[in-house]
Amino acid sequence: MVTKVKKRKNTKNIELVLESTTPQLSECREEDLLVDTETWLAFVEPCLCNDSDAAETFAHLLQTITEAIENGPDGHRRAVCTLKDGIRLAYGYTKAHKAALKLYNLYLRGKLKSPNDEPLILIGAALERAEGMVVEQDQ
C-alpha cells in the first residue's frame, strides 16, 4: 500500500490529508512476473508520482511493448530492440555514465596518473574478463 500526503490549506493552518493509493491487483500470477509490484513502485513512484502526463506516456509505452510481444516473433524482436534502446538511453542518467565521462575528461586533459587508467584500456580489460571480448585500440 502506498500512502501519499497531500497538503490542503486551511484558514488557520495546513492540515495533512492522507490518501491511500493501493495499486490494482495484477492480472498475472505473482510467479509469472519478472518484477514484483514493490520493485515497480520503487521506480514508478519517484519518477511519475508528480507527473500524470509522464505516467500516461509510460503506460502507453508499456502497452505498445506488450502488444508487440503478443503479436508474434517480429513483434517480439521489435520489443526486445525497443527495450535495449531504452537501456541505452537510460545509461546517460546513471552514475556509471557520469563516472565514465569524468574519467574520459581526465584522460582528455592528460590528468590520469597511469596509462593503464585510460578509459579504453580499463573498459577493454573489463570486457575481456567478462566476455572474452577484445576491444581494438587505435594507436
Length of the chain: 139
Which pLDDT tens digit goes with each residue over 67-80?
A: 999 999 999 999 99
Three cell numbers, residue 36: 514484483
- Tell me how far apart the alpha carbons of residues 77 and 120 are, in angstroms, rounded to a whole number: 31
- H or E element at residue 105: helix 95-108
Asked if residue 90 has pLDDT above 70, the reply is yes
Strand partners, 3: 20
Angle in degrees, 0-180, between the axes of helices 52-70 and 37-48, rounded to the nearest 10: 140
Which pLDDT tens digit goes with each residue over 12-64?
A: 444 444 344 545 666 788 888 898 888 989 989 999 989 999 999 999 999 99
At 137, the pLDDT band (50, 70, 90 cuts) reads: low
Residue 53: exposure state from Cβ atoms within 10 A (0-12, 13-18, ≥19)? exposed
- Does the CA dihedral 21-27-31-34 come out positive or negative? negative
Strand partners, 17: 6
